[in-house]
Amino acid sequence: MRFQFKVPGGDVSRRDFLRSVALAGGLLALQRGVGASPSFALFQDSPGLKFHDPFNAEPDLARLVQSWMTPLEHFYIRSHGATPTLDPGTYRLRIVGLVERELSLSLSDLSSLYAQASGIATLQCAGNRRDEFSLVKKVGGVPWGPGAIGNASWEGVRLAELLQAAGLKDGARHVQFLALDRVEHGGTTAPFGASIPLEKAMAPETLLAYAMNGETLSPAHGFPLRAVVPGYFGVRSVKWIDTITVSAEESPNYFQQKAYKIMPPEADEKTADWTSAPPLNDMIVNSVVGTLDVDARSKTPVAHLRGYAVPTGATGDSLAQVEISPDGGKSWQTAEFSSPEMPFCWRLWEAKVPIGAHVSAFAVRATARSGATQKPEIDWNFKGYGFNAYHHRSLS
């Protein structure tokens, strides 16, 4: 399936027009050096987000499910260290490794030498819903609720175009990203890094983005340049990119090798066999109830539920259905989608379910066209990644 770059629906052309106007403004500001704000400015300016710590924040769930396109003020922030303050005037992206020609590109090189590409994609942290693992047994890490997810438009250039310009050498199999942040881990400080298989790097949906929702990237979301890898968990969408290395091997970075892998339930920090577990790349099917309102006027009260759902991140997969159960999974009612269907994007849904006697909670599950579906329970893993058991919402 080809990645599509247009939003289906009524006011498309106007919205796209406004977006490209905003983008042009953003680019100009970026080239003039406006927009490089101090690292912590965003934290004071984010009333729409709840901060778990100074680097990590998620929106209120009820607000999150109000809009298919997530506005910046409700878009989660997941950073392993402080936001670096970067000078767009001196910034250079370097492309090295198994390439015919090394490239060193300024921001204006990027926007003038390469075609602008954009796409809408959902970003989701692999730790989304992590707090539900802790109901079974405590896990470490940021205690994410279901808000570590958002859907945005991303504007930049195709990674494939840059790699073609650099020319790939024989043996190229992975594309590594190394960032400009400084992350403390195990007594040392090092930049964040990750890699993606060459095939995904060459896919049309994979971008290097300088703008989000038509505005210059904010510092917290990766200004001046980040990777956007649609379909993959957010960890591979590296922010504040410094160097891209084309290589035969995956990135040696800690976050590629020793985190973001799902370990068996009996494993812990000491016993985990990191080398044989595959990296967590493709997102998995998931759904969440965002709001529940009760209409008590009718004879049988009705629950109005709204939420989000995501298919797997596999290219070509999409959601087949979302279902709600009022009785702990014995019976299911199909929800209706209330947003467009786009590759690599979430969908919003809603359902009106009668509240019969004995109903105290609702469960939701999504099923993808690939057949992937959610289960009532899933295996615990000590890093708390990939929670996608049925989501529950109680009436009271």
Binding site for Mo ion (CB under 5 A): 78, 125, 234-235
**Contact map string, positions 157 to 196, toward ligand MTE, x by CB under 6 A:** ----------------------x-x----------x----
Q: Judged by CB under 6 A, does residue 238 bind ligand MTE? A: yes
Give the interface segment with ligand MTE, choosing from 28-36, 237-245, 295-303, 378-386 (CB under 6 A). 237-245
Shortest distance (Å) from residue 103 CB to ligand MTE: 20
Of 222, 234, 244, 227, the residue nearest 85 (C-alpha): 222
Burial class of 321 by CB neighbour count within 10 A (0 to 12, 13 to 18, 19+): middle
Residue 150 or residue 234: which is nearer to Mo ion going by CB? 234
- On whether the CB atoms of residues 167 and 100 are closer than 8 A, the answer is yes
239 is in the binding site of which of ligand MTE, Mo ion, none (Cβ under 5 to 8 A by kind)? ligand MTE
Give the interface segment with ligand MTE, choosing from 1-9, 74-82, 320-328, 340-348 (CB under 6 A). 74-82
User: Which of residues 129, 158, 200, 239 is near ligand MTE by CB under 6 A?
Assistant: 239
Q: Which residues 6+ apart lie within 8 Å of 164 measured at CB?
A: none
Residue 52 or residue 369: which is nearer to ligand MTE going by CB? 52
- Residues of span 96-125 touching ligand MTE by CB under 6 A: 123, 125
Shortest distance (Å) from residue 255 CB to Mo ion: 9
Residue 128 or residue 367: which is nearer to ligand MTE going by CB? 128
Shortest distance (Å) from residue 334 CB to ligand MTE: 31
Q: Which residues 6+ apart lie within 8 Å of 122 measured at CB?
A: 149, 150, 151, 230, 283, 310, 344, 345, 346
80, 81, 83, 86: CA torsion to nearest 10: -110
Of 281, 280, 279, 283, the residue nearest 345 (C-alpha): 283
Residue 123 or residue 351: which is nearer to ligand MTE going by CB? 123
Binding site for ligand MTE (CB under 6 A): 75-80, 123, 125, 179, 181, 192, 221, 234-235, 237-240
